[in-house]
Amino acid sequence: MQEYFVDLHIHIGRTKSGRAVKITGAKSLTFSNIIRHARDYKGLNMIGVIDSHSPEVLEEMEDLLTAGELVEHPEGGLNYGGMSVILGSELEINDESTRGPIHVLCYLPSLQRMRIFSSWLENHLKNIHLSSQRVYVSGRVLQKKVKELGGIFIPAHVFTPFKSLYGKGVKDSLSEVFDADLIDGIELGLSSDTNMADQLAELHRFPFVTNSDAHSLAKIAREYQKIEMAEPSFRELGLALKQIEGRGIKANYGLDPQLGKYHRTVCAECMAYNPAYDQACSECGSFKKVKGVADRIQELKSSEGNLEERPPYIHQVPLEFIPGLGPKMLEKLMDHFGTEMAVLHSVPLDSLKQVIPEKTALTIDRARTGQLSFYAGGGGKYGKISD
C-alpha cells in the first residue's frame, strides 16, 4: 500500500478551443493545463476533473490518448505520467423533493463510460457543454444511472448556503432526496470540517472527502486528502471510500473553517456579522441574512460526533493565503522544493528560511502546526489570517 494526495473536485474553465465550460472558471483552466499544474506544481497523485462530460473536454482527452500523453488504466482512470485522472461531472438537481438546488459529484471509471453518461445527460439537461447544469431527473434516478455505469456518487459541498444538500436543500435528512445506500461519500466544503460535520448522526456511515472545488489553477489542492491505496486507479479509489481491504482515507487536509466563505452568518446587505439569523441587523436594520455553516450545523445537530473512527482532519492554510507570499516568492519556493505538497508537508523550517524571508517562513511553519489565528469569513468572503 502507498499514500497518495488526492483532490477530486477541479473544474474546467475553457476547452482547448476557448469554449466556456465553467463560466466562472479561469480561462487558463483547460484540461491540459490542469493535469500539468496538478502533477508538476501542486504535487498531487490523483485528481478528479468534474466537467468531463463536456463533449470538447472528452475530445481533448481522446487527442491526448492518441498522442500517448494519457493512458487508460485497466482498473479505471487515466494515467498522466504517474498521476491518475478520475473523470467526473458536477450536476445540479432541483425537483419537488429538494426544496432548492443541490450539487452532486458523479465519477465514472473510463472514457467510454463517461461518453455514455454524457449522451444520457444530453437528453436531460439544456446545455451539455457547460458545468454544473441542472439535470431534469430526481436525485435517485441520477444515482441509479451512475451506479448502472459503475460510478461513484458524492453530494457536493453539503453545508454551503447555496446549492447544497443542507444549505437550501433538505431540512432533516438526506434520505428525502437520495438513496443513502447509493452514496459513496460526503464532500464537506470549505467552511466546515470533520468535527462540525460529524455532529449529524446520519453522516456517521459515510467517509468525508475534502476537495478544492478549484475555479483557477491556484486554487487546486487548497483542500485534499491523503488516501492509502495499492495504486492510483478508479477501482482503488472506490475501495478506499468503502474502507475495505486495507484501503482508506488516512487524513483530510482543509482550510480552518473560519477561512471559508460561509463560516459565519452575516447581513446580506451590509455584510456585518450577525449571529441571530431571525433578528434585524444591528448595523443596518435589514432582515436579509446569509446563514453561516456553523449556525446551520447547530440547527441540524443530532450527535456529539464519532471522531474516534474518523481519519484526522488537519487544518491547513494554502500558500496563497500566507501574508507576504506573492507570486515571485512562491515561484522561488517551487524552484527550490518542487511542489506545494513538498512545502506544506516535508520541507524543514530551516530550509524555508534559506530561500524566503524568515518572517514568511515562520508564518508557513506556524500554519503547518495550527498556530495561526483567523478572522472568520462569511457571506461569500473568505476569512483571513489575523496575525
Task: Tell which of 205, 239, 257 closes a domain.
Answer: 257
Same domain, yes or no, for 136 and 238?
Answer: yes
Domain that holds residue 135: 2-257
pLDDT at 339 over 80: yes
Phi and psi at 91, nearest 5°, equal -130, 160
In terms of phi and psi (left: phi > 0; alpha: psi -120 to 50; beta: otherwise), the region of 276 is beta
Question: What are the cell numbers at 351?
Answer: 530550509
Domain boundary among 214, 240, 257: 257
* Torsion sign over Cα 247, 253, 257, 261: negative
Q: Tell me the pLDDT tens digit for each residue of 127-170.
A: 999 988 899 999 999 999 999 999 999 999 999 888 888 886 55
Helices 55-67 and 111-122 cross at an angle (nearest 10°) of: 160
In a domain, 307, yes or no: no
Q: Does residue 289 sit within a domain? A: no
The reply to whether 356 and 218 lie within a common domain is no
Q: What is the 3 state secondary structure string of 167-227? A: CCCCCCCHHHCCCHHHCCCEECCCCCCHHHHCCCHHHCCCCEECCCCECCHHHCCCCEEEE
Number of domains in the chain: 2
Rg (CA), the chain: 20
Do 46 and 150 lie in one domain? The reply is: yes
Stated as kind and residue range, the H or E segment containing 237 is: helix 234-242
Query: Which of these three, 226, 257, 288, is where a domain ends?
Result: 257
Mean pLDDT of all residues belonging to the chain: 89
Return the pLDDT at 119: 96
Residue 115 belongs to a domain: yes
Q: What percent of the chain has pLDDT over 70?
A: 95
| 353: its cell numbers | 528560511
Q: Could you tell me which of 250, 117, 133, 238 has the C-alpha nearest to residue 183?
A: 238
159 occurs within a structural domain: yes
User: How sure is the predictor about 304, in pLDDT bands with cuts at 50, 70 and 90?
Assistant: confident
Distance CA 290, CA 265 (A): 6
In a domain, 287, yes or no: no
If asked whether residues 36 and 154 sit together in one domain, one would say: yes
Per the domain annotation, does 306 fall within a domain? Answer: no
Q: What's the pLDDT at 226?
A: 97
**182 and 53 in one domain?**
yes
The answer to whether residue 237 sits within a structural domain is yes
**Do residues 209 and 187 touch, judged by C-beta distance below 8 A?**
yes
- The answer, yes or no, to whether residue 34 has pLDDT greater than 90, is yes
Q: What is the three-class DSSP state of 324? A: coil
Let me know whether 332 and 244 are in one domain. Answer: no
71: left (phi over 0), alpha (psi -120 to 50) or beta: beta
Which CATH number fits the domain that encloses residue 38? 3.20.20.140
Angstrom distance (rounded) from CA 174 to CA 302: 14
pLDDT tens, residue by residue, 265-288 = 888 777 777 666 677 787 787 777
Q: Quick check: 8 and 88 in contact, CB under 8 A?
A: yes
Helix (H, G, I), strand (E, B) or coil at 297: helix
pLDDT category of residue 175 using cuts at 50, 70 and 90: confident
Range with the poorest average pLDDT among 30-39, 110-119, 239-248, 298-307: 298-307
Residues 89 and 229 in one domain: yes
pLDDT digits (tens, 9 = 90+) for 85-125: 999 999 999 877 667 789 999 999 999 999 999 999 999 99
342, part of any domain: yes
Give the total residue count for the chain: 387
Same domain, 83 and 212: yes
pLDDT over 70 (residue 172) = no
